[in-house]
Chain A
Amino acid sequence: MSRFRATTGGASARFSLGNAELLAGLARQLATLISDRDESAPDPALARLLPDAYRDSAEDAAEFRRFTEEELGDEKVRGALALAESLEPTPGAKKVTVELDTGQAFAWLRSLTDIRLAYATRLGIDETGGPTAGGHLDFAIYNWLGYLQETLVQAVDR
Protein backbone atom coordinates (compact mmCIF):
# COMPACT_ATOMS: atom_id res chain seq x y z
CA MET A 1 0.00 0.00 0.00
CA SER A 2 1.34 3.41 -0.99
CA ARG A 3 2.49 5.70 1.76
CA PHE A 4 4.46 8.92 2.02
CA ARG A 5 7.89 9.06 3.57
CA ALA A 6 9.82 12.14 4.63
CA THR A 7 12.64 13.23 2.33
CA THR A 8 15.22 15.97 2.94
CA GLY A 9 13.17 18.46 0.93
CA GLY A 10 9.63 17.23 1.58
CA ALA A 11 7.98 13.86 0.99
CA SER A 12 7.78 11.10 -1.56
CA ALA A 13 5.58 8.10 -2.32
CA ARG A 14 5.40 5.32 -4.89
CA PHE A 15 2.09 4.33 -6.40
CA SER A 16 1.06 1.37 -8.49
CA LEU A 17 -0.28 2.48 -11.88
CA GLY A 18 -3.78 1.50 -10.75
CA ASN A 19 -3.64 3.50 -7.52
CA ALA A 20 -2.12 6.51 -9.28
CA GLU A 21 -4.90 6.40 -11.86
CA LEU A 22 -7.54 6.03 -9.15
CA LEU A 23 -6.30 9.01 -7.15
CA ALA A 24 -5.74 11.19 -10.23
CA GLY A 25 -9.27 10.34 -11.38
CA LEU A 26 -10.76 11.36 -8.03
CA ALA A 27 -8.79 14.63 -8.13
CA ARG A 28 -10.10 15.39 -11.63
CA GLN A 29 -13.65 14.58 -10.54
CA LEU A 30 -13.24 16.98 -7.63
CA ALA A 31 -12.03 19.70 -9.99
CA THR A 32 -15.05 19.12 -12.24
CA LEU A 33 -17.46 19.08 -9.30
CA ILE A 34 -16.19 22.47 -8.14
CA SER A 35 -15.81 24.06 -11.61
CA ASP A 36 -19.28 23.01 -12.74
CA ARG A 37 -21.04 24.04 -9.53
CA ASP A 38 -24.44 25.60 -10.01
CA GLU A 39 -26.11 27.36 -7.12
CA SER A 40 -29.53 26.32 -8.40
CA ALA A 41 -28.57 22.66 -7.77
CA PRO A 42 -27.40 22.41 -4.15
CA ASP A 43 -24.96 19.57 -3.45
CA PRO A 44 -23.96 18.51 0.07
CA ALA A 45 -20.37 17.84 -1.07
CA LEU A 46 -20.06 21.41 -2.37
CA ALA A 47 -21.74 22.74 0.75
CA ARG A 48 -18.97 21.10 2.77
CA LEU A 49 -16.13 22.16 0.44
CA LEU A 50 -17.32 25.78 0.25
CA PRO A 51 -19.22 26.17 3.53
CA ASP A 52 -21.13 29.14 4.91
CA ALA A 53 -18.93 31.45 6.97
CA TYR A 54 -21.86 32.61 9.13
CA ARG A 55 -24.13 30.10 10.81
CA ASP A 56 -26.90 32.40 11.95
CA SER A 57 -27.19 34.91 9.13
CA ALA A 58 -27.98 33.71 5.62
CA GLU A 59 -27.54 37.29 4.46
CA ASP A 60 -24.02 37.63 5.89
CA ALA A 61 -23.15 34.16 4.58
CA ALA A 62 -24.30 35.10 1.06
CA GLU A 63 -22.42 38.41 1.17
CA PHE A 64 -19.23 36.67 2.29
CA ARG A 65 -19.66 34.05 -0.43
CA ARG A 66 -19.99 36.76 -3.08
CA PHE A 67 -16.57 38.09 -2.17
CA THR A 68 -14.64 34.88 -1.48
CA GLU A 69 -16.17 31.83 -3.15
CA GLU A 70 -14.83 32.26 -6.65
CA GLU A 71 -11.20 32.56 -5.58
CA LEU A 72 -11.51 29.77 -3.02
CA GLY A 73 -13.14 27.48 -5.58
CA ASP A 74 -10.50 28.27 -8.21
CA GLU A 75 -7.73 27.54 -5.71
CA LYS A 76 -9.26 24.15 -4.91
CA VAL A 77 -9.62 23.33 -8.61
CA ARG A 78 -5.99 24.29 -9.31
CA GLY A 79 -4.79 22.19 -6.37
CA ALA A 80 -6.78 19.13 -7.49
CA LEU A 81 -5.54 19.40 -11.09
CA ALA A 82 -1.92 19.80 -9.91
CA LEU A 83 -2.30 16.69 -7.76
CA ALA A 84 -3.67 14.74 -10.74
CA GLU A 85 -0.83 15.98 -12.94
CA SER A 86 1.85 14.89 -10.48
CA LEU A 87 0.45 11.33 -10.72
CA GLU A 88 0.93 11.14 -14.50
CA PRO A 89 2.99 7.99 -15.22
CA THR A 90 6.14 8.10 -17.33
CA PRO A 91 5.56 5.96 -20.46
CA GLY A 92 6.69 2.39 -19.85
CA ALA A 93 7.09 2.80 -16.07
CA LYS A 94 5.46 0.22 -13.78
CA LYS A 95 5.15 2.62 -10.83
CA VAL A 96 4.52 6.30 -10.35
CA THR A 97 6.95 8.03 -8.00
CA VAL A 98 5.74 11.32 -6.57
CA GLU A 99 8.42 13.62 -5.16
CA LEU A 100 7.05 16.68 -3.37
CA ASP A 101 8.86 19.68 -1.95
CA THR A 102 7.37 21.21 1.19
CA GLY A 103 5.12 23.62 -0.70
CA GLN A 104 3.80 20.87 -2.95
CA ALA A 105 3.27 18.61 0.06
CA PHE A 106 1.20 21.34 1.76
CA ALA A 107 -0.88 21.70 -1.43
CA TRP A 108 -1.34 17.93 -1.61
CA LEU A 109 -2.58 17.86 2.00
CA ARG A 110 -5.23 20.45 1.18
CA SER A 111 -6.36 18.67 -1.98
CA LEU A 112 -6.39 15.25 -0.30
CA THR A 113 -8.63 16.82 2.35
CA ASP A 114 -11.01 18.15 -0.32
CA ILE A 115 -11.13 14.76 -2.06
CA ARG A 116 -11.83 13.00 1.26
CA LEU A 117 -14.53 15.55 2.20
CA ALA A 118 -16.34 15.04 -1.11
CA TYR A 119 -15.88 11.26 -0.96
CA ALA A 120 -17.17 11.18 2.63
CA THR A 121 -20.31 13.06 1.62
CA ARG A 122 -21.03 10.51 -1.13
CA LEU A 123 -20.40 7.64 1.32
CA GLY A 124 -22.60 9.29 3.94
CA ILE A 125 -19.85 9.15 6.55
CA ASP A 126 -21.62 9.80 9.86
CA GLU A 127 -20.42 10.97 13.27
CA THR A 128 -18.98 7.52 14.03
CA GLY A 129 -16.77 7.80 10.93
CA GLY A 130 -18.57 4.87 9.30
CA PRO A 131 -20.33 4.84 5.91
CA THR A 132 -24.10 4.81 5.38
CA ALA A 133 -23.88 4.40 1.58
CA GLY A 134 -21.60 2.81 -1.00
CA GLY A 135 -19.94 -0.59 -1.00
CA HIS A 136 -16.94 -2.18 0.73
CA LEU A 137 -14.60 -1.10 -2.04
CA ASP A 138 -15.69 2.54 -1.74
CA PHE A 139 -15.06 2.51 2.00
CA ALA A 140 -11.69 0.79 1.48
CA ILE A 141 -10.72 3.56 -0.95
CA TYR A 142 -11.86 6.19 1.54
CA ASN A 143 -9.73 4.58 4.25
CA TRP A 144 -6.76 4.37 1.92
CA LEU A 145 -7.06 8.11 1.20
CA GLY A 146 -7.06 8.75 4.95
CA TYR A 147 -4.00 6.55 5.45
CA LEU A 148 -2.18 8.29 2.60
CA GLN A 149 -2.96 11.69 4.09
CA GLU A 150 -1.91 10.58 7.57
CA THR A 151 1.48 9.47 6.26
CA LEU A 152 1.89 12.80 4.43
CA VAL A 153 1.08 14.77 7.61
CA GLN A 154 3.66 12.68 9.48
CA ALA A 155 6.21 13.29 6.74
CA VAL A 156 5.90 17.10 6.81
CA ASP A 157 5.03 17.64 10.48
CA ARG A 158 8.51 17.88 11.96
Chain B
Amino acid sequence: MADTIELTGVETPDTDERTEQWAQTLLQTPWITIVWNDPVNLMSYVEWVFRTYFGFDKPEARRRMMMVHQEGRAVVATGTREEMERHVVAMHGYGLWATLQKQDEA
Protein backbone atom coordinates (compact mmCIF):
# COMPACT_ATOMS: atom_id res chain seq x y z
CA MET B 1 0.00 0.00 0.00
CA ALA B 2 2.85 2.36 -0.82
CA ASP B 3 1.71 5.78 -2.01
CA THR B 4 3.26 7.89 -4.77
CA ILE B 5 5.66 9.74 -2.51
CA GLU B 6 7.18 6.58 -1.13
CA LEU B 7 7.65 5.08 -4.61
CA THR B 8 9.27 8.28 -5.86
CA GLY B 9 11.52 8.22 -2.85
CA VAL B 10 12.78 4.74 -3.54
CA GLU B 11 13.67 5.76 -7.10
CA THR B 12 15.76 8.71 -5.94
CA PRO B 13 17.31 7.91 -2.60
CA ASP B 14 19.80 10.51 -1.48
CA THR B 15 20.99 9.17 1.82
CA ASP B 16 21.33 5.72 3.30
CA GLU B 17 19.10 6.65 6.18
CA ARG B 18 16.25 7.79 3.98
CA THR B 19 16.59 4.72 1.80
CA GLU B 20 16.35 2.62 4.89
CA GLN B 21 13.25 4.47 6.04
CA TRP B 22 11.53 4.10 2.68
CA ALA B 23 12.46 0.45 2.55
CA GLN B 24 10.93 0.15 6.02
CA THR B 25 7.70 1.68 4.86
CA LEU B 26 7.56 -0.49 1.77
CA LEU B 27 8.24 -3.61 3.77
CA GLN B 28 5.49 -2.56 6.16
CA THR B 29 7.54 -3.31 9.25
CA PRO B 30 5.85 -1.11 11.82
CA TRP B 31 7.47 0.43 14.83
CA ILE B 32 5.90 0.31 18.27
CA THR B 33 5.89 2.49 21.36
CA ILE B 34 6.22 0.57 24.62
CA VAL B 35 5.47 1.95 28.08
CA TRP B 36 7.36 0.14 30.86
CA ASN B 37 6.32 -0.35 34.45
CA ASP B 38 7.99 1.64 37.20
CA PRO B 39 7.35 1.56 40.95
CA VAL B 40 6.69 5.30 41.19
CA ASN B 41 3.98 6.36 38.76
CA LEU B 42 0.44 6.11 40.08
CA MET B 43 -1.95 3.77 38.27
CA SER B 44 -4.54 6.54 38.07
CA TYR B 45 -1.99 8.89 36.54
CA VAL B 46 -0.82 6.39 33.90
CA GLU B 47 -4.46 5.73 32.95
CA TRP B 48 -5.09 9.48 32.76
CA VAL B 49 -2.05 9.98 30.49
CA PHE B 50 -3.24 7.20 28.16
CA ARG B 51 -6.67 8.82 27.90
CA THR B 52 -5.41 12.37 27.58
CA TYR B 53 -2.57 11.79 25.16
CA PHE B 54 -3.63 8.77 23.08
CA GLY B 55 -7.35 9.44 23.32
CA PHE B 56 -8.17 5.92 24.54
CA ASP B 57 -11.59 5.56 26.13
CA LYS B 58 -11.65 4.73 29.83
CA PRO B 59 -11.84 0.91 29.56
CA GLU B 60 -9.06 0.80 26.95
CA ALA B 61 -6.81 3.17 28.92
CA ARG B 62 -7.41 1.08 32.01
CA ARG B 63 -6.68 -2.19 30.15
CA ARG B 64 -3.33 -0.89 28.85
CA MET B 65 -2.42 0.62 32.23
CA MET B 66 -3.11 -2.75 33.91
CA MET B 67 -0.96 -4.46 31.28
CA VAL B 68 1.93 -2.13 32.17
CA HIS B 69 1.35 -2.76 35.87
CA GLN B 70 0.95 -6.54 35.73
CA GLU B 71 3.04 -7.61 32.74
CA GLY B 72 5.70 -4.94 33.09
CA ARG B 73 5.00 -3.30 29.74
CA ALA B 74 2.36 -2.48 27.15
CA VAL B 75 2.42 -1.50 23.50
CA VAL B 76 0.53 1.79 23.30
CA ALA B 77 1.03 2.74 19.64
CA THR B 78 2.06 1.26 16.29
CA GLY B 79 3.15 3.16 13.17
CA THR B 80 6.13 4.78 11.52
CA ARG B 81 9.40 5.33 13.33
CA GLU B 82 8.89 9.11 13.27
CA GLU B 83 5.42 8.85 14.82
CA MET B 84 6.74 6.53 17.54
CA GLU B 85 9.60 8.92 18.30
CA ARG B 86 7.04 11.70 18.83
CA HIS B 87 5.03 9.48 21.16
CA VAL B 88 8.11 8.46 23.14
CA VAL B 89 9.27 12.03 23.74
CA ALA B 90 5.69 12.94 24.72
CA MET B 91 5.63 10.06 27.23
CA HIS B 92 8.95 11.24 28.66
CA GLY B 93 7.33 14.66 29.05
CA TYR B 94 4.69 12.98 31.22
CA GLY B 95 7.38 11.13 33.17
CA LEU B 96 6.41 7.72 31.82
CA TRP B 97 9.22 5.35 30.88
CA ALA B 98 8.76 4.67 27.17
CA THR B 99 10.88 3.30 24.33
CA LEU B 100 10.39 2.52 20.66
CA GLN B 101 11.49 -0.43 18.59
CA LYS B 102 10.61 -2.40 15.47
CA GLN B 103 7.60 -4.58 16.00
CA ASP B 104 9.41 -7.80 15.12
CA GLU B 105 11.91 -7.18 17.93
CA ALA B 106 9.14 -7.09 20.49
Point out residues on A near B: beta carbons under 8 Å: 48-56, 64, 68, 72, 75-76, 106, 109-110, 113-114, 116-117, 120, 125-129, 146, 149-150, 153-154, 156-157
Asked if B39 contacts A126 (CB within 8 A), the reply is yes
Tally of contacts, chain A with chain B, CB under 8 A: 75
Interface residue total, chain B, C-beta cutoff 8 A? 24
In whole angstroms, what is the CA distance A110 to B45 when docked?
10
Q: Could you tell me the distance between the alpha carbons of A110 and B96 in the complex, rounded to whole angstroms?
A: 10
Please judge, given known A-B contacts A116-B40, A129-B39, A157-B44, whether A72 and B92 are in contact too, CB under 8 Å: yes
Shortest distance between the CB of B79 and any CB in chain A (Å): 15
A153's nearest neighbour on chain B, judged by CB, is B44
Scan B35-66; emit 1 where CB is below 8 A from any A CB, else 0. Answer: 00011111011011001100000000000000
CA distance A153 to B44 in the complex (A): 7
Closest 6 CB pairs of A and B: A113-B95, A120-B40, A153-B44, A53-B88, A68-B89, A129-B39
- In the complex, which residues of chain B have a beta carbon less than 8 angstroms from the beta carbon of A68? 85, 89, 92
Contact among A110, A153, A154, A157 with B93 in the assembled complex (CB-CB below 8 Å): A110
Q: Bound complex: CA of A150 vs CA of B44, how far in Å?
A: 7
Q: Mark B88-106, 1 if CB is under 8 A from A, else 0.
A: 1100111101111100010
| Cβ–Cβ contact A50 & B92, under 8 A | yes
Please give, as numbers and ranges, the residues of chain A lying within 8 Å of B105 by CB-CB distance: 56
**B92 neighbours in A (Cβ, 8 Å):** 50-51, 53, 68, 72
Given known contacts A72-B89, A72-B93, A110-B94, is B101 in contact with A54 (CB within 8 Å)?
yes
* Chain A residues whose CB sits within 8 angstroms of the CB of B99 once the complex forms: 51-55
Q: Could you say which residues of chain B place their CB within 8 Å of the CB of A53?
A: 85, 88-89, 92, 98-100
A-B contact pairs, 26 of them (CB 8 A): A48-B97, A51-B98, A53-B99, A54-B100, A55-B99, A64-B88, A68-B92, A72-B93, A75-B93, A113-B41, A113-B45, A113-B94, A113-B95, A114-B95, A116-B40, A117-B38, A117-B40, A120-B40, A125-B39, A128-B39, A150-B42, A150-B45, A153-B42, A153-B45, A157-B47, A157-B48
